[in-house]
Amino acid sequence: MAPKILIVLTSFGEIPGVGPTGWYLPEFAHPHEVFHKKATLVIASPNGGKAPLDPNSVKMFESDPVAKNFLDTQESLWTNTEKLADMLARVDEFDAIFYVGGHGPMFDLTTNKTSIQLIESFAAKHKPITAVCHGPCVFLNTKNSSEEPLIAGAQVTGFSNAEEDAVKLSAAMPFMLETELQRISGKTNGYGGALITGQNPASAGAVAEAILDVLG
């Protein structure tokens, strides 16, 4: 049977005083390209309904054919998302969870109790927990059953401080992702299941391939 993957998008669409944000187009478009023939996908966001697409990512990737085609043909995937809270009772249905990046997740998903509970539930069932770019922020506050950080000692990557400086958004962020990932993961041991993370938009397709690999 085809694996079933829960894809999570942010509901956060505007950084006050800075401008529109959301989830990042190629980080959904490229994984979708990899997944769509091989997996069943369910898309959710904290608020459900329309999950805000970062307009900057649309502009940046206007000459990327995969992103462009996804934008033109798959809109219902991000305008009709399920409510994240409704997924808590459905964890057994899924084989893996994947968080799309963008600056939005930094604001709503890092601290969202529903999201944290969902990830901890996937982890407790040894299902892959995966994310790309800013998406790994969702793991910062997750714990295992011994109340230790899930990513303690784990190899985890994400959008770097240098990349954040380069896009001139460091001052607009609630925290620096690389700094926090290093602070929380910098211990021994770590999550025994599959933890798959990718650094930036260019890693999104490879993360999706890696997810399908561990699902066999």
Binding interface with ligand NAG (CB under 6 A) = 46, 83-85, 108, 111-114, 144-146, 148, 152-153, 189-190
Give CA–CA dist 120/125, Å, rounded: 9
Indicate the SS3 state at residue 124. helix
Q: How many helices (H) and strands (E) does the chain have?
A: 10, 8
Q: How far is the CB of 192 from ligand NAG (least distance, A)?
A: 6
